[in-house]
């Protein structure tokens, strides 16, 4: 399939993609943005499309995955949708306990308990808590990803058993 044929076939899917995007977002403008992101990803990853396969399914999968990734990213950042007429995003701050005396004591107690855990489990846990990805931790510590995941899991398990006072 030539680049022109690919582009024309992709543009032919626009109406269906917009309908599907609207069913996910419930907002026309967000749906159009999602379709535009889908077109961009499809065009930049054209080399990954296999000849004689279903372009429509491939494009719909890109759209769905893009929507899911945006939703997860919004959840992680604490962004909420404001349903006013303007439909703008604003960050949700919520109530912060940071800087309050009881939170300072809690942080010190939790840090003390974390420091009692063995280095082999504590270091991957602290790195993951600092924002490192499993792969980065594995490379830096010269371990397999499975080993890193299990060490972090067991560290969390130990912490949960020792921090019964902090459960909801």
pLDDT tens string 119-132: 888 888 888 888 88
pLDDT at 168: 53
pLDDT at 20: 92
Per-residue tokens: 152: 């972090």
> How far is C-alpha 150 from the chain's CA centre?
21
pLDDT tens string 16-49: 999 999 998 888 999 999 999 999 999 998 888 8
- Residue of 160 and 14 predicted with greater confidence: 14
Axis-axis angle for helices 55-77, 14-25 (nearest 10): 30
Whether residue 76 contacts residue 136, with contact meaning beta carbons closer than 8 Å, is answered with no
- This prediction's pTM: 0.47
Judged by DSSP in three states, 74 sits in helix
Stretch (H or E) spanning 79: strand 79-81
Q: Is the dihedral of CA 98, 102, 105, 111 positive or negative?
A: negative
pLDDT tens string 99-120: 565 556 577 777 888 888 888 8
């Amino acid at each position: 399939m030539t680049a022109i044929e690919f582009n024309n076939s992709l543009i032919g899917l626009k109406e269906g993609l917009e309908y599907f995007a609207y069913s996910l977002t419930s907002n026309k403008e967000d749906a159009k943005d999602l379709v535009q992101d889908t077109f961009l990803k499809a065009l930049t990853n054209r080399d990954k499309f296999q000849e004689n396969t279903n372009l429509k399914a491939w494009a719909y999968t890109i759209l769905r995955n893009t929507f899911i990734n945006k939703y997860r990213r919004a959840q992680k950042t604490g962004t909420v949708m404001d349903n006013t007429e303007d439909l703008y995003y604003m960050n949700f701050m919520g109530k912060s306990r940071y800087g309050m005396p009881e939170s300072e004591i809690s942080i010190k107690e939790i840090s003390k308990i974390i420091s009692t855990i063995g280095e082999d489990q504590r270091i991957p846990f602290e790195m993951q808590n600092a924002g490192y990805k499993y792969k980065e931790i594995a490379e830096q510590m010269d371990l397999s990803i499975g080993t890193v995941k299990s060490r972090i899991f067991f560290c969390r398990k130990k912490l949960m058993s020792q921090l019964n006072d902090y459960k909801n």
